[in-house]
Structures are given as C-alpha cells and as structure tokens.
Structure 1
C-alpha cells in the first residue's frame, strides 16, 4: 500500500526554472488548527460527470488560485497579533489546502482524461507559478493529482505515487501575467481615481457607519472597500485555521462586511485602462497561445495544456478584462479553464470559458458579453482589442500625476 499524501510532500522536490512566461461560502473550507487534522476530514471535491470531448478540444489553459492559507496580515486590535501559525507560518498553505488541491488535480485528470496523455509527458504541459511559496506548493499538489505515475512508464518508486514535474517561475518584479504586482505607478494612481468616482464615493458614504465601527473595533483606519477586504480575509483565514474570532465580529463578519469586500475586486479593474495594465497582459498571452495552436506555430507541437497558479486578484483581474467578473469573493482554489475547440464540421475555432469558484461544485460556463458561449476566436479578438496592451508595461505604468497613488492590495 502506498504511503499517504503527507509522505509525498515530505520527500517531494520540484524543478524550478526562473524566467519565461495558468459564490464564496463564508466561512469556507475545512477548519485548520495548530494541530491540523483537516486533511483527514476534508469534504470530497465533486468530479465532473463526463470528460471533455477529445474530438473538438485543441488546447486548454487552466488558471487557478492557491489553496487556503494562514493570514498574511493582521490588525492592531487582533487578539492573535502574536500568533505564529506553527508549524506552517504566516501566509502559508495549510494541510487542508494540500488535500483540496490534490483533489483538484484529480478533477482535472477526470475532466481532460480523453485529451491529455495518459501519463506525464514534458511537451504536453507547461506549469507556471507566481514567485510565492504558497502558489508553488499549490501547483505541486495539483500536478500530483493530475499526473500520478503509478502503472505508467514514469513510475519510479512503488512506494510513492508521485513524480517531480518542472514548474516555471518569473520574478515578481517582472511578472505581469500571473503575480501582477510588478511596480506600476500609473495603476496605483488609478486605484485612487476609482475611489474618487461618484458611484464609489456614494457606496462608501452609504456604509460610513460600518466603516467607522470597523475602524473602532480593528484599530486600523477603514475608509474604503479595500480596507474591509483586508480585514475580511484575515478573519476568514483565522477562522479557517480554527481560531475563535473576537466577539465583536459576530455583528459584522461575514454578512455585513461581505458586500464591500466583494466590491473591492470590481474596483481593482474598474476601468479599461486598469484592465489593460493588469489582466490585459495575461489575455494577450492567452490569445497568442490559441492563435499559435491554430496556425501550427505553437511549440512544442504536441502541447496540450498550460497550467498557471496565481492569486485572488489575478483571477479577478483576468475575468474583469474579459468583462465577465461579477461582485463576489474569489475563493481559495478558484479555477478558470480556457478551452480552445474546433468545430469538426466547419473547422471554426472557438473559446469555451469555465469558472469554478467552489471546488465542491461543477465549473460553470461563462459567456463573454457580445459573444456566444462558444465564442469564435475572430470575435474574441475583436471584443478584447481595447484591453490588449498597446505599449510596453513600463510605458503604460508611467505616472500621470493625477493622484498621489497608493499601493492598495490584499493577499
């Protein structure tokens, strides 16, 4: 009998190459704690009823968020201000997350079993993660579920149903496709410009009592939706870890805080300019991958899948760039699947777009405004032309001096 999954991570290694260019239910996930037994009790992740047909699918790019983690930030009045979150540490993937992501890998294997090779082949897949331990570990877990080597030519150890698969990473300071936190002064300005828009000011004014009360309870100045999101995610991670939240949160978390927290992701990519600077670079890459597959220029020629692991704002920025993001909280392990299909009768290529915001539910097909659910590539190119970058990142990111700018982000 094979060793269980914990052994997999204990002995696993990963080949990393730097450079080169994949409705929240609150509270969510399995409860974690200082002694984490959640890996034994994690709910089963739903499996697709049928795999995707090999007859029309030509290429797929799966982009997912890392799994549940410990907090990365706190607030002055947090009773767990000095918590160390051992043995994981701050901002780290939990054991329950590892189980969840491993099952997502199995879910992808089931969905694409008739499209992907039966076992790992280097040319068939390219895996890329942001430069973050939790995304790298998340990618390792998904790959472990997607390509188990047992009873394949890649099997190398009968006691360990795991194999090393290379993962590409790009430094954060130059990663405009996945991490999306490369310095961008102009984007920082636009965040403040959006906050100053009449409809956003109106939302904050309508919630002024809530913002003031949260400021009192947390000890941090809560003035806009992004501030609410920061505290919301910290509370969610603490609760998921098994910590008892302070009594004041019962009147605010999650229900009262959720609408503002959801809105903040909308404001991250509210304007066409913002969408161009953030999700636009990934969409540009995605379109090139699909066009190269269509023209025969994609290398290696037998590439089947691109697999990318990023963060909450990368998921929302990409879907906002495609004009399909609605105000909601992106879950840990949220997943987007971009499927390039070819009509066997007409030869026409089209995109099918799927979003899974809950790993316990089936992916839902999204429809890009102005297009059919099976969106012809030519039409997709037309619909995305305004958010495709028309200048290098450094040029787009030059400050205009319209606002002081502020690096408002969450984790």
Structure 2
C-alpha cells in the first residue's frame, strides 16, 4: 500500500516535471503605463499652477519613480530563471514615447530589473547602470502614441460616434455637471471628450495631498471619473470598434504579432528575450481594445500588459497574456476571445488579423463630401466639352462633304463653257 502511494506521488511529480519541460519561455513583451505624474495642465481658476509642482506639468513624480522601480523588481522576480541576472544588450529591447515621464519610467523600471553587480558596477555605492532606451519624435510615432489624429477616416468615425444614441444620452445626462465644471473652472466649451482633463488635474492634486476647491464634492468627482472613463472608451470603442482598432491600436498589435512570430523560430542565433514598451494609459487601452480584452477603465499608473511566448519541444508556439494593475496581487491572466488562456500562436495570429491594418495610409483615406462633389462636377464638365467637340467635328465633316459635292457639280456644268471659251 505504501509502495503504491509512493509510486503514485512519483508519477504525479514526473508529470509536473514533464509539463514544465514541455513548454519553455521564448520571449516576453511588456507594455506599461508611466508612473505617477503631475497634471498635464491646470484649469484657469485652479489654485495650483505649474509653479506648485517641483518639475512642472506632466512630469514623473518620485512616487512614479518608486512605482516603476517596484515593477522592475517584480519583473526580475518573475523572470529570474529566464533573463540573465546581469544586463546583456542582446537580450532586451526598450522603446518609449518621446515624453520625459515615459523615458524616466523606463529608466526607473530598468534600475529594478537590472541592478548592477560585479564588473557592471562602475561607481562605488551606486546600484544603477545606464541602459539604452530608444524613442522617436512624437509626430513620427505610430507605434505607442495613441490616439493618432492624422487619419481622416478615424476623424470621420469619431464624428459619427458623437452622433450615436449612447453618446448623446451620456451628454444629456451629464449636462448639468459639465455646466457646473465650466462655470467653476473658467473653461469654455466643456464637453464629454474634453472634460477628462479637469478630472485628471483634480486626481493628481488629490494624490499629492492638495486641498480641492469647495465645489469639488464626492459626487462631482464620481461623475467626472465616469465621464473620464467614457471619454477614453470613445477613442477606441463604443462604435465600430474593430475599424477604429485597425486605425489605432491595431498598429501596435501588428508589431506584437510580428515580434512574437519572428521570435518563435527555433533556430535564432541570438534570440531577443524581452521587448519593453514604455507609454501611456491610452496606449494600453488602444492595444486592449484591439484585442477586445479591455475592461473599459483607465489603466492605473505603472499598470503592465504582458505577452509571454512559449515553445514546446516540437516547435509549437503559444501565447499567454497577463495584466498587472495592482502591485499587491500577482498579474491576472487575460484570455483572448475565441482562444484558450494558453493560445496557440497560429490561432493568436488568426484571431487578431481582423484588427491589424494591411495598409494604414490607404485605410485612413476618406474623400470629403466637397471633394466628391468637385470630382463629379469636373467629370460632367469634361463630358460636356467632349460631347460638344464631337458634335462640332461631325458637323465639320458633314459640311466638308456637302461643300465638296456641290463644288464638283458646278465645275462639271461650267467645264463645257470653259472649254467652249478656250
């Protein structure tokens, strides 16, 4: 009996060992939002202006630095058996949007992920080493900076979204709140899509223990928070979500799919182990909406969406996703609709294909109504001119024939007279 139990335990243990050996991590992509920051701007009557913030508006705070240092520690712990203990430039690629707060978040994160040791310590008592973070100017960034505004079709979709019943209902329901905010803040033309900035300012101030104005009650804050979440959803969902995704987060999703596909090859000479992307709340939302896995809420500071690529001994690759939006609990698994949590790579590629643009520039093209009218008028005018030219040409040909026929008859009659005269 005892022998049977021992054999059973050994068998179960061997199954676990076999399962762990079957799939090995190949590549990890982490996309995170920057850490805690100062407000982007202040409203006109705000008692706190840019001078009241140590580094001015839109800058990473020391709280935000610590949040990303902690996230870096978490990534080090999670992937301690996958990543090298010391930094190797060939195993990680880091890209950020061209904002101070995202660049600094990436650097703080890397400080937690790769604390220097041994020969990598270049200064006594400094547990930090420089690691490259790449970026491009904002006007060139179509990978991490969303929503992209230089897309005519997307602007048309946003205009159509504002005419949907749901958008109109939210506007009507919150009209009194928006009028209150407009009167109290000194802002003009406050609407559903722009009011998020007021909540953002009040939220940042509250996080830094700044006393709010008397008109900012708990109910006002609740209403503003709901409007803020709705305004973010409008950018990527609510109406024609998949087409919006092709013009927005689908660009980043396409990058993710391509990177996972490339790294799944079993014969890579020097495989890249991690891709780190430092960006914004709208970046995380754009990506999650493109996969239809967003909860519709603004991702908190230092939240992180994770893609893990695995491969079994037969070369079959699969993808697992996780989202970390709370530092007190482990990241929770995210399931792509239509696939298992451990999703075969070919299924992941197939399911996401509909949200990835084939030709972004072409899909963004939308002729305006005025341009359509001009084209039609031009074609009609050209047709009329061509018709008149054909009529004139036919008329000229007929006239020449009649003239030629009349001339030959006259000469025949007078030829005798001419001959008689000669």
Q: TM-score, normalised by structure 1?
A: 0.79
| Ranges of 4+ aligned residues in structure 1 off by more than 6 Å | none
Is 2:21 the counterpart of 1:58?
no
Residue of structure 1 equivalent to 2:101 = 134
Q: Is the 8 A contact 1:150 1:158 kept in 2?
A: no
* Shift, 1:296, TM fit: 4.7
Q: Is the 8 A contact 2:27 2:308 kept in 1?
A: yes
Q: Pick one of 277, 282, 302 that aligns with 2:247.
A: 277
Q: 1:60 to 1:318 in 2, by over 3 A?
A: same
Q: Is the 8 A contact 1:269 1:320 kept in 2?
A: yes
Q: 1:75 to 1:188 in 2, by over 3 A?
A: farther
Moved more, 201-210 or 307-316: 201-210
In 1: Cα distance, 2:311 partner to 2:98 partner: 34
Residue of structure 2 equivalent to 1:381 = 349
Paired residue secondary structure (1:120): coil
Q: Is the 8 A contact 2:25 2:309 kept in 1?
A: yes
Q: Is the 8 A contact 2:147 2:235 kept in 1?
A: no
In 2: Cα distance, 1:343 partner to 1:196 partner: 50
In 2: Cα distance, 1:254 partner to 1:208 partner: 15
Residue of structure 1 equivalent to 2:302 = 333
Residue of structure 1 equivalent to 2:288 = 319
Moved more, 300-309 or 177-186: 177-186
The CA deviation string for residues 275-297 of structure 1, in whole angstroms up to 9 with x for no partner, is 11111111111111111112258
Residue of structure 1 equivalent to 2:333 = 365
Residue of structure 1 equivalent to 2:157 = 190
In 1: Cα distance, 2:83 partner to 2:257 partner: 21
Superposition CA RMSD, Å: 2.2
In 1: Cα distance, 2:369 partner to 2:205 partner: 38
Residue of structure 2 equivalent to 1:306 = 275
Residue of structure 1 equivalent to 2:212 = 245
* Shift, 1:389, TM fit: 1.0
Residue of structure 1 equivalent to 2:40 = 72
Q: Any unmatched runs of 5+ in structure 2?
A: 1-19, 371-422
Q: Pick one of 127, 130, 141 that aligns with 1:161.
A: 127
* Shift, 1:104, TM fit: 0.9
Aligned length: 346
Q: Which has the larger radius of gyration?
A: 2
Moved more, 207-216 or 270-279: 207-216
Q: Is the 8 A contact 2:302 2:325 kept in 1?
A: yes
The CA deviation string for residues 245-271 of structure 1, in whole angstroms up to 9 with x for no partner, is 111111445322222211222211122
Q: 1:224 to 1:183 in 2, by over 3 A?
A: closer
Residues 36-51 of structure 1: pairs in structure 2 closer than 5 A:
none
Q: 1:380 to 1:86 in 2, by over 3 A?
A: same
In 2: Cα distance, 1:132 partner to 1:385 partner: 30
Residues 254-265 of structure 1: pairs in structure 2 closer than 5 A:
254-265=221-232
Is 2:175 the counterpart of 1:208?
yes
Q: 1:228 to 1:150 in 2, by over 3 A?
A: same
Is 2:339 the counterpart of 1:350?
no
* Shift, 1:225, TM fit: 3.1
Higher RCO by CA contacts (8 Å cutoff, separation 6 or greater): 1
Paired residue secondary structure (2:333): strand
Q: Any unmatched runs of 5+ in structure 1?
A: 1-52, 404-411
In 2: Cα distance, 1:252 partner to 1:360 partner: 28
Residues 114-133 of structure 1: pairs in structure 2 closer than 5 A:
114-133=81-100
Q: Is the 8 A contact 2:33 2:301 kept in 1?
A: yes
* Shift, 1:110, TM fit: 0.4
The CA deviation string for residues 93-133 of structure 1, in whole angstroms up to 9 with x for no partner, is 11111111111111110011111011100000001111111
In 2: Cα distance, 1:107 partner to 1:381 partner: 29
In 1: Cα distance, 2:232 partner to 2:148 partner: 18
Paired residue secondary structure (1:168): coil
